[in-house]
Amino acid sequence: MSQLLAREAHGPLADEAPLRIAAATLSDAPRGMITATTVVGTLGNNSPESLQALVADIAEEYGLTSQLAVHVGSFSVRFGRKEH
């Protein structure tokens, strides 16, 4: 919750929409059709910590797993389905 409040205080991240679209697409697809998806973006002025908090919130919201890799100036996020 504190991560969410901190993110709201700094405003939305520029790459929030593509992350949400990817998570929603994976979540809505029938099992077996799409097993995972990856989003690549630029970090810009956003901190790695705020991106990490956003990815965790989105993964929890859609019931997915997530892996975040931060590189110099860029990032990649892989969303996957949870094993049942």
- What pLDDT score does 51 carry? 94
**Which residues lie below 8 Å from residue 1, measured CB to CB, with a gap of 6+?**
none
- Which are the contacts of 84, defined by CB distance < 8 A and separation ≥ 6? none
Spatial separation of the C-alpha atoms in residues 54 and 22, rounded to whole Å: 13
CATH 3.30.1140 fits 2-81, yes or no: no
CA distance 21 to 80: 14
Look at residue 49 and tell me whether its pLDDT is greater than 90.
yes
Across the chain, mean pLDDT equals 86
Cα 18-56-49 angle, rounded to 5 deg: 90
Are the C-beta atoms of 79 and 26 separated by less than 8 Å?
yes
pTM: 0.82
Domain boundary assignment for the chain: 2-81
